[in-house]
Structure 1
């Protein structure tokens, strides 16, 4: 593939706050950095939990309204189902050497990936810069995010 055809930059939007909504974007950003591709992660709405210090260690699998789980929503609402599904998924990820969220964010940042929070969502949830992990590069408007994404691929997970 010619150099000008190769992807040089990706900007990945993470808006979901469940494990299965967060990990695809983290894996894609990490893979991009490992291939020398510039990677920007933009967290909005419940995706902000990924980089919020008080929440990033307690993110769970969504068992209700998740048809891929293969269980009826009525079963998914039972107490402990989300915790059980989370435990099983984390065990599987550990076996595959997939790091927990805080470690993954640190790895991506250390590899040169940039971590951004959506200003509108930060204001809506009444958060401050100090509520976020140390790897946060900046809090951006959507317009700022588009400007920094110019010339690259935007991926919404």
Structure 2
């Protein structure tokens, strides 16, 4: 992957100069399947390209790494305009379960692993994974609540330190 920078030559014509991206930091803040997978897919893709990856889970994104919740993430059907169904229909019992099953079936066809397996796989490739200290405290959690792939619970300041020189991606 490359980072494109535009520079102007002496004649005023922009010249694109590319530099390889060496490091990304991905923030996952949403705890639904459609909120977690984009960040995991980006982290996996970056690692496959040899890019250093830090994943920071905050707010409801923590659901992706809380040991007893990560296997039960859902697709929200209420207030989700991308579902292309009326909110009233999305609120019917079973609609979220139906949408979740459909999404999981489609991901399985594409060989995209379930959240737990994906988190393990990405971590095993060398990605670092952290939980947000402020959110952990706010939700009254401890490090023991998380899957073993969470390297630590850190502050936002520490996340910024670890992200020095990285492209920061918020999903």
1:17 to 31, 35, 44: 31
Deviations 1:9-53 (A, max 9, x none): 000000001000100000000000000000111000000000000
**Which residue matches 2:120?**
106
The two structures have a TM-score, normalised by structure 2, of 0.89
**Structure 2 stretches lacking a partner, 5+ long:** 4-17
* Residues 1:53 and 2:56 are matched in the alignment: no
**Structure 1 stretches lacking a partner, 5+ long:** none
Higher helix share: 1
Give the superposition deviation at 1:65.
1.1
RMSD, aligned CA: 1.4
Give the superposition deviation at 1:134.
0.4
Work out the number of aligned pairs and report it. 157
Q: Tell me which structure has the larger Cα radius of gyration.
A: 2
How far apart are the structure 1 equivalents of 2:132 and 2:86? 34
* Residues 1:118 and 2:132 are matched in the alignment: yes
* Residues 1:82 and 2:93 are matched in the alignment: no
Higher strand share: 2
The two structures have a TM-score, normalised by structure 1, of 0.97
How far apart are the structure 2 equivalents of 1:114 and 1:62? 28
